[in-house]
Amino acid sequence: MTLKIGVIGTGAIGQDHIRRITNVLSGGEIVAVTDVNQEQAKQVVEVEKLNAKVYEDGHALIQSEDVDALIVTSWGPTHEEFVLAAIKAGKPVFCEKPLATTAEGCKKIVDAEMAYGKPLVQVGYMRRYDKGYQALKNALDHQKIGEPLMVHCAHRNPTVPDTYIGDMAITDTLVHEIDVLRWLLNDDYASVQIVTPRTSSLAKNGLKDPIMVLLETNKGIRIDVEVFVNCQFGYDIQCQVVGETGTANLPEPSSIIMRSEAKLSTEILVDWKDRFIESYDIELQDWINSTKKGIVSGPTAWDGYVVAVVSDACVEARNSKGIVSIATGDIPEFYKGNLSIVGEV
């Protein structure tokens, strides 16, 4: 059976997911699309040669009998509304990060899903599907460097668009580390502090860029994450775990090593689409397969909620310039069987 999928939001990642489902993956077909920019949605149908109907809005698409499952790739602040509507319609939904822009919004989704009685929601935290992060997790789970003590991370974007404003360094960018590190370490966060170095003269729109995020986990592991979204030189993701008997680093994406013109060089990727291309493919294929089986095997609404609680605390820490405690609460029974299945390597 082919999973008939409707996509809400045909911007950058919406188009990317449409392309991979149409040309790379198996078992799914895009039968419906919508975007507030209707012209763009029509163009995507044309360019990708989709046999898909363009709906006037997300709600009409969700209600359509032609659609089995949904992908939400519209702007972050619209996710909550569409995910709640999908749950009400009893349809599985893959929602790009963030699940909602506030913990309160995510909690409404968690409550609605539990009231529905069956998991329907997967959140697009694709780093859990990255082979590099999976290898790192494997090393930690098998005690290859002893107990983890510290983690040093960097999340660098070359530049960001003018729509990237306010707290997005936290709510749009840092959220990837918040999700993947709790999965990697099998731990949750206890507190956060944010320190701001001198701001880059190349940062636009009043952004304080870079920032340094200092997290502490319940087990006492200390994490520092540099978020620098105008670093100019490339899309650069770093993660080093320091354990009791060694260190383990996230591998660099593979690239040829050149000796030329008296220089030894390797390329650095510049686009997030390329850095995690394989992870997105694996993630969406897993979602299609799991949805057909009627299960959620990737990051759940609970994971999306926890990330939002931590992200809210980070925003508070930045504003107050102090150390903010984090209490994510106990995972409900409902979500226990669904956690971290993609982590088993």
Interface contacts to ligand ISE, rule CB under 6 A? 157, 172-173, 176, 229, 272
In the DSSP assignment, the letter for residue 146 is S
Rounded to whole angstroms, the Cα distance separating 67 from 132 reads 34
CB 119 within 8 Å of CB 300: yes
Is residue 300 within the footprint of ligand NAI (CB under 6 A)?
A: no
Residue 126 found at the interface with ligand NAI (CB under 6 A): yes
Pairing of strands 28-34, 3-8: parallel
Pick between residue 217 and residue 311 the one whose CB is nearest to ligand NAI. 311
What does 76 bind: ligand ISE, ligand NAI, none (CB cut-off 5 to 8 Å by kind)? ligand NAI
| For ligand NAI, the closer CB: 14 or 304 | 14
**Chain centroid to CA 247: how far?**
25
Q: Which residue is nearest to ligand NAI (CB)?
A: 11
Torsion of CA 145, 173, 175, 338, to 10 degrees: -90
Residues 80, 171 contacting (CB under 8 angstroms) = no
Of 34, 157, 217, 291, the residue at the interface with ligand NAI (CB under 6 A) is 34
Determine the Cα–Cα distance for residues 177 and 194; give it in Å rounded to an integer: 14
Q: Where are the beta strands (DSSP E) in the chain?
A: 3-8, 28-34, 53-54, 69-72, 93-95, 121-123, 148-156, 189-195, 211-217, 222-228, 236-243, 247-249, 257-260, 263-266, 324-325
**Residue 173 binding partner per list ligand NAI, ligand ISE, none, with a CB distance cut-off of 5 to 8 Å that depends on partner kind:** ligand ISE
Q: Which of residues 13-32 bind ligand NAI (CB under 6 A)?
A: 13-14
Residues binding ligand NAI: number (CB under 6 A): 24
Q: In the complex with ligand NAI, which residue's Cβ is closer, 101 or 217?
A: 101
Taking the C-alpha atoms of 129, 179, 333 and 81 in order, what is their torsion angle to the nearest 10 degrees? -100
Angle at 172 between CA 53 and CA 189, to 5 degrees: 125
Q: Which is nearer to ligand NAI, 58 or 132 (CB)?
A: 58
The CB-of-176 to ligand ISE minimum distance in angstroms stands at: 6
Nearer Cβ to ligand ISE, position 158 or 243?
158
> Taking the complex as a whole, how short is the minimal distance between the CB of residue 58 and ligand ISE, in angstroms?
19
Q: Nearer to ligand NAI by C-beta: 91 or 217?
A: 91
**Min separation Cβ 208 and ligand NAI, Å:** 20
Note the Cα 218 to chain centre separation in Å: 22
Among 38, 43, 78, 102, binds ligand NAI (CB under 6 A): 78
| Block residue for tokens 């190349």 | 202
Q: Choose between 49 and 233: whose C-beta lies nearer to ligand ISE.
A: 233
Task: Give the binding site for ligand NAI (CB under 6 A).
Answer: 8-14, 34-37, 40, 58, 73-76, 78, 96-97, 124, 126, 172, 272
